[in-house]
Amino acid sequence: MSVIYELEHTTIYRYRNPVTFGEHRAIFLPSVGFVGRLLNYSLETNIPVKIRWMMDTLSNNVALLEFSEPAAELSVTYRVRGEHFGIPAIAEFPLDPRAKEVPVQYTPDEWIDLSVFMRPHAEDPDGSVAAWAKSFVVGDQDDTLDVLQRMMNTIRHTLTYQAREAEGTQPPGETLRSQSGTCRDYAWLMIEALRRLGFACRFVSGYLYDAALDGGEIGMTGSGATHAWLQVYLPGAGWRAYDPTNRITAGFDLIRVAIARHPGQVIPLSGSWFGDAEDYLGMDVNVAIRKLGTLPEFEEAP
């Protein structure tokens, strides 16, 4: 089975007086690969814009926007229609023996390719993140999948999800101290903890399909906005998704857009504007995802 979905993501910036805009970067096209395909997409703005596309160093699709007129409001809307085949369960990709216990053993070639995703990026001045990470590997509790599941469960059950208007992602140590955060904070904490255990991890930005929005019974935390989770590289299984906010590792809910070493690399819309600082009045973001239907699995002819 596959799911046909439709996504609309609108960002509106408001200013007291007309301002001019520098180049903006938009990252919104799902990176489908073997888990889906794009059917169509569009990018619309309320003022004239010149759009050119590029692929960044991590092969994410980036739209570069050049605005030619000043305005007191900037509206950018992404629309995407796609087919999502779903993320297979980890059981369908048996781990290599060298990946079954912590620390995972990577080959020399894997080390070269994965080194940027293995090196911790965030500071840990008091060692709290490292200590928290090591608490999941005590005694004979070194089974890789068990460590990953327990860390994800601990984040989900002991931290409080708290959306905030401030942009950016808070340091992992702050997430531990405050015992709260957003989906981006949860993912970043788990990434930096796992990196200190020798795992290769990358930050994932995308969207969360919530069946409750289409009349389903189970509501997802973080729906109605962009979502963030992580991927862990496990020899034999490859890059595997882990969403500590909703404890998701498989299924049709996670729609990946971009990957990064750290959250600052995959902001959905970023750029500059020129005017008086007090002209900025704020921004509104609205994300809507709905399921249009499902398609049966392909069956080979006899």
Q: From first to last of the 302 residues of the chain, give the pLDDT tens digit.
A: 788 999 999 999 999 999 999 999 999 999 888 888 999 999 999 999 999 999 999 999 999 999 999 999 999 999 999 999 888 888 777 899 999 999 999 999 999 999 999 999 999 999 999 999 999 998 888 999 999 999 999 999 999 998 766 668 999 999 999 999 999 999 999 999 999 999 999 999 999 876 655 555 555 554 556 899 999 999 999 999 999 999 999 888 899 999 999 999 999 999 999 999 999 999 999 998 888 888 876 555 45
Give the chain's radius of gyration (CA, Å): 20
Q: Are residues 7 and 66 in the same domain?
A: yes
Strand partners, 43: 78
Domain membership flag for residue 302: no
Q: Are residues 124 and 73 in the same domain?
A: no
Task: Indicate which CATH number applies to the domain containing 172.
Answer: 3.10.620.30
The count of domains in the chain is 2
What's the pTM value of the predicted model, to 2 decimals? 0.91
Domain membership flag for residue 25: yes
Full residue range of the structural domain in which residue 32 is found: 2-84+266-295
Q: Are residues 226 and 109 in the same domain?
A: yes
Q: What is the dihedral of CA 68, 263, 34, 25, to 10 degrees?
A: 0
Alpha-carbon span 13 to 70, nearest angstrom: 13
How high is the pLDDT of residue 40? 96
Q: Are residues 176 and 200 in the same domain?
A: yes
**Cα–Cα distance list, 300 to 3, 33, 164, 297 (Å):** 20, 21, 49, 10
Q: Are residues 239 and 199 in the same domain?
A: yes
Domain membership flag for residue 301: no
180-181/160-161 β-pairing: parallel
Task: Indicate which CATH number applies to the domain containing 23.
Answer: 2.60.40.2250
Q: Are residues 163 and 50 in the same domain?
A: no
Q: Are residues 103 and 63 in the same domain?
A: no
Q: Are residues 114 and 140 in the same domain?
A: yes
Q: Are residues 74 and 160 in the same domain?
A: no
Domain membership flag for residue 300: no
Q: Are residues 247 and 114 in the same domain?
A: yes
